[in-house]
A and B are shown apart, each in its own frame.
Chain A
Amino acid sequence: DADVTQTPRNRITKTGKRIMLECSQTKGHDRMYWYRQDPGLGLRLIYYSFDVKDINKGEISDGYSVSRQAQAKFSLSLESAIPNQTALYFCATSGTVWTGDQETQYFGPGTRLLVL
C-alpha cells in the first residue's frame, strides 16, 4: 500500500461549490503539506502543518482552508471553487527534527481538479 494517499484522484466540480481533498499517510510523519501545480508555474505551497496543533499559510492560501484531523490526516478545502483553482494538487509529508528527516518530503499521487 502507498505511504501517502490522496482522495479523490480526479474531481470535476462547478463554480461556487465547496469541495474537500483528503490526504492520509502511514509514514508516521509529523509534517504535512498541500501544494498545487500548474503548467509553467511549478509547485506552489498552499498550507503546511508541522504537527496536529500547528497550521501555517503558504505562498497561495487565499481561497483555501485546511484541517489537520490527526497526525495522519490533512484535508484541503476549497470553500467556493472558482475556475482558476483548476490544477493538480499534491499532498506531501516529512519527518521531524528528532528523526533528522524533517526536510525530505514524500508526495502523494495527486488529485486532478477541474472547476467548471
Chain B
Amino acid sequence: QKEVEQNSGPLSVPEGAIASLNCTYSDRVSQSFFWYRQYSGKSPELIMSIYSNGDKEDGRFTAQLNKASQYVSLLIRDSQPSDSATYLCAVVGSQGNLIFGKGTKLSVKP
C-alpha cells in the first residue's frame, strides 16, 4: 500500500511568520504532487501542484520537491489567521488516483 505521511500537528505559528508543512511518500515512481487546503467542514481546495525537483512559488506559497528523498513541502510566508486550516498532501498513485496524507492542522495566532 502506497503511503503519504504528514505530521498531524497542530502546527502553531504567529501571524507574519513562515509556516513549514512537510510530507513524505513511499512510492519512488510518483511524479505528481499536490497541496490542498481544507477549512473545517469544507471541501479540499487546490493550492499548488509540483512535478519537478526544486521550488515552485505562487504568491505567499512555495512548494518544494525532492524526489531523491521522497519529500515534498509547503512553505507559507507572512502567515495570516485566515491560513488556519488543515493542509493535505497528495501524490498520484500507480492507478492514476490521488493518495492523500491525513493532513497537518495549521493554526496561525494573531
Q: Is the CB of A103 within 8 A of B98?
A: yes
Q: Is the CB of B96 within 8 A of A42?
A: no
Determine if A74 is an interface residue (Cβ-Cβ < 8 Å): no
Interface string of A56-73 (1 = CB under 8 A from B): 101000000000000000
The residues of A that contact B44 with a CB separation of less than 8 Å are 43, 90, 107
The contact size tier of chain A is 20 to 34
The residue that A43 contacts in the complex, of B8, B42, B88, with Cβ under 8 A, is: B88
Shortest CB-to-CB span from A94 to chain B, Å, is: 8
A residues sitting closer than 8 Å to B (CB atoms) are 33, 40-43, 45, 48, 50, 56, 58, 88, 90, 102-110
B residues sitting closer than 8 Å to A (CB atoms) are 8, 32, 34, 41-46, 49, 88, 90, 92, 95-98, 100-103
